[in-house]
Structure 1
Amino acid sequence: MTISNLKYQADSKPCGDKADMQTNVYHVAYAPAIKKAYLFHWGCNLECKGCLCKKEINCMALEENLDVVFRDPRFCPPQTPSATLSFGKLVSLLENIELTEVAFEGQEASLDPMLPDICWWLKDRGCKVILHTNGVAMADASHIDDVIVSLKAITPELYAGYTCRSNASLLDNFRKYYESGVNLKAESVYIPDYIGLEETEKIAKFIASVDTNIPYRMDAYFASGDNPWRPPTPEEMQIALAVARKHLKNVYCTQQTKKDLSKADLLYEVVSRMAACRSSCRRRGSNSRSAASTSRSSSGLA
Structure 2
Amino acid sequence: MQRRVPFITFCTRPARKAWINLAGCNFDCRGCFALAKEDVGRAFSVAELVSFFVEACLYIYGCLVDDVVITGGEPTLNPAYLVSLIERLRKAGVSRISLSTNGHLLDEALVRQLKVLGVGPVKLDIKAFSEDIHYWYTGRSNRNVLRAAKLLYDYSVDFYARTILMPGIVDVDEVEKIAKFLSSISPEIPYRIYEFDPSHARQPVARKPTLEEMASAFE
TM-score by length of 2: 0.84
Report the AA paired with residue 40 of structure 1.
N
Match of 1:28? Answer: 8
Matches within 5 A, 1:1-302: 21-33=1-13, 34-53=15-34, 57=35, 81-96=40-55, 97=57, 98-112=64-78, 113-124=80-91, 125-138=93-106, 139=110, 140-141=113-114, 142-143=116-117, 144-223=119-198, 224-242=201-219
Aligned length: 200
Report if the CA contact (8 A) 2:20-2:69 is conserved: yes
Report the AA paired with residue 87 of structure 2.
W
Does the residue aligned with 1:93 lie in a helix, a strand or coil? helix
Residue identity (%) = 28
Once the two structures are TM-superposed, the CA of residue 241 in structure 1 deviates from its matched residue by: 0.7
Larger CA Rg, structure 1 vs 2: 1
Once the two structures are TM-superposed, the CA of residue 40 in structure 1 deviates from its matched residue by: 0.5
Report the AA paired with residue 142 of structure 2.
N
Separation in structure 1 between the aligned mates of residue 197 and residue 130 of structure 2, nearest angstrom: 22
Once the two structures are TM-superposed, the CA of residue 122 in structure 1 deviates from its matched residue by: 2.0
Separation in structure 1 between the aligned mates of residue 38 and residue 147 of structure 2, nearest angstrom: 32
Does the residue aligned with 1:114 lie in a helix, a strand or coil? helix
Once the two structures are TM-superposed, the CA of residue 85 in structure 1 deviates from its matched residue by: 2.3
Does the residue aligned with 2:145 lie in a helix, a strand or coil? helix
Does the residue aligned with 1:85 lie in a helix, a strand or coil? strand
Report the AA paired with residue 76 of structure 2.
S
Higher-helix-fraction structure: 2
Report if the CA contact (8 A) 2:4-2:40 is conserved: no
CA-atom RMSD in angstroms: 1.9
Once the two structures are TM-superposed, the CA of residue 79 in structure 1 deviates from its matched residue by: 6.8
Higher RCO structure, 1 or 2 (CA under 8 Å, sep 6+)? 1
Once the two structures are TM-superposed, the CA of residue 126 in structure 1 deviates from its matched residue by: 4.0
Separation in structure 2 between the aligned mates of residue 215 and residue 82 of structure 1, nearest angstrom: 33
List gaps (5 residues or longer) in structure 2.
58-63
Once the two structures are TM-superposed, the CA of residue 162 in structure 1 deviates from its matched residue by: 0.8
Once the two structures are TM-superposed, the CA of residue 93 in structure 1 deviates from its matched residue by: 2.1
Separation in structure 2 between the aligned mates of residue 39 and residue 122 of structure 1, nearest angstrom: 11
List gaps (5 residues or longer) in structure 1.
1-20, 59-77, 243-302
Separation in structure 1 between the aligned mates of residue 186 and residue 126 of structure 2, nearest angstrom: 15
